[in-house]
Structure formats: C-alpha cells, structure tokens
Amino acid sequence: MTEEAKEDQTRKRHKFRCYKPTDETLQDKQVAPATALSVETEVKKIVEESRSSGSTEIDLNALAPRKENWDLKRDVEKKLAKLEKRTKRAMAEMIREKMKSENTLSAD
C-alpha cells in the first residue's frame, strides 16, 4: 500500500447525522435519520412472549420504561449504605463526647 492509501484508511470518515450538507459532494455522507421504535410494537412483543410461555401474568416492570438514572442509583446504593453507617457511628461518638464533657463540668 502506498502512504496515501494508509493515511486515507486511518483518517476518520465524516458522518452527518444532524447536519444536511449543502455541498453535493458531501450529500452521500449524510446518515439517514434514526427512527424511534414504537411503544406499541414493544408491548405487543412482550405480551406475545408471555403468551407463548404459558404465563397468564404480565410483568408490568417489563412494560414500564425505566428512569434514565436507575443504574446510577443501583451502583451508588452500596456506598450510601456504608456512609449511613459511618454517619450514625460518628453522631453517636459526638453525643458520647458531649455527655462526657457535661459530666466532667457538673462534677467540678
């Protein structure tokens, strides 16, 4: 391969997703707009799967869309539990110290 051919392969190709180029030479690099899946087809698919498995119950969690930050909450939950324990322990220690200082002042 020549040096130019190698350089062309390593060079990034432009893809226009949101921009409609006015230059005719760039028209072929325009990406077709994405189409969103309809909710009805997804629900029908899940219902068909549940019918084919013989189950009469439909999992409503599978039908309802998840919030966009569900994975963040799941990942942070363990860390928050650990911090909650540390916070309670620290607060208990502070209360004990305050009680000790009050007892030493009242004893004097």
Q: How many angstroms separate the CA atoms of 74 and 76, rounded?
A: 6
pLDDT at 105: 74
Q: How many angstroms separate the CA atoms of 1 and 9, rounded?
A: 11
Alpha helices of 20-69 — where are they, by DSSP H? 39-52, 60-63
Tokens of 64: 């309802």
Tokens of 22: 């006015």
Tokens of 88: 């309670």
Residue type, 59: D
Tokens of 6: 């190698």
Considering the entire predicted model, what is its pTM?
0.35
Q: Which residues does the chain have with pLDDT short of 70?
A: 1-12, 53-64, 66, 107-108
**What residues does 30 pair with on adjacent strands?**
16
pLDDT at 8: 59
